[in-house]
Amino acid sequence: MISEQEVLAVFQETGAYLTGHFLLSSGRHSEHYLQCAKVLQYPDKAERLCRALAAEFLPLSPTAVVAPALGGVVVSYELARHLPGSRGVFTERKDDAMQLRRGFELGPRDRVVVVEDVVTTAGSVREVIAVVAACRAQLVGVGSLVNRSGQTPSFDVPFKSLLSLQIPTYPAQECPFCARGVPLVKPGSRASLDAPRGSSGRAG
């Protein structure tokens, strides 16, 4: 078992909880960003977090763990490693649609857990769920390392996360940081090198 305080501490000590003005993958803006890759670069920390999340799904006997690329790839692999008999696979976006590629397959005998590193609007997760349904596989659970949606998402199957945070997000036209002229950063891009002055790289 691992507490929410311990999970948050891992994100803070690895510099994965960023403060500034960020463009999220959903298109919304936020003062904080969780850069899970900065945690998952450490195998011992990735193993600890994913083993704890995998334990939540052991009773469901999944045969596959599926995540959206790119952020969920390591998470799906590590979860599958702790779920006996399970495969870790991922979907990729092509022609504006999530797809299974690289020879990955799911079928009616598969019991699937869909995972993500961070859930905000759950848009990517729902796209992956649609892929699972199209393959006629059985969705048995959904999980994430962090749930920053501010609520418990509804998927009609159990949802589990290690850490829940309530971090406000804003549409661009209503963003107070845009109104103040704070430079916008897209995490993972070259623009992240020009983070606004005063961004500590940790929770403020």
pLDDT tens-place string over residues 159-200: 999 999 988 899 999 999 999 999 999 986 544 433 333 333
Would you call 31 helix, strand, or coil by DSSP? strand
Q: Where are the domains of the chain?
A: 4-194
Number of neighbours of residue 91 by Cβ within 10 angstroms: 25
State the Cα–Cα distance between residues 54 and 58, nearest whole angstrom: 6
pLDDT tens, N- to C-terminus, the chain (204 residues): 899 999 999 999 999 999 999 998 778 899 999 999 999 999 999 999 999 999 999 999 999 999 999 889 999 999 999 999 999 999 999 888 999 999 999 999 999 999 999 998 889 999 999 999 999 999 999 999 999 888 888 899 999 999 999 888 999 999 999 999 999 999 865 444 333 333 333 222
d(CA 153, CA 26): 15
- Tell me the CATH number for domain 4-194: 3.40.50.2020
CB-based contact 175:169 (threshold 8 Å): no
Order of strands across the sheet with 169-170? 17-23, 29-34, 169-170
Local structure of 84: helix, strand or coil = coil
Instruction: For 89-152, give the DSSP string.
Output: EEEEEETTEEEE-TT----TT-EEEEEEEEESS-HHHHHHHHHHHHTTPEEEEEEEEEE-BSS-
3-state secondary structure of 177: helix
How far, in whole angstroms, is CA 9 from its chain's centroid?
17
What is the pTM assigned to this prediction?
A: 0.83
Tokens 């920053």 label which residue? 148
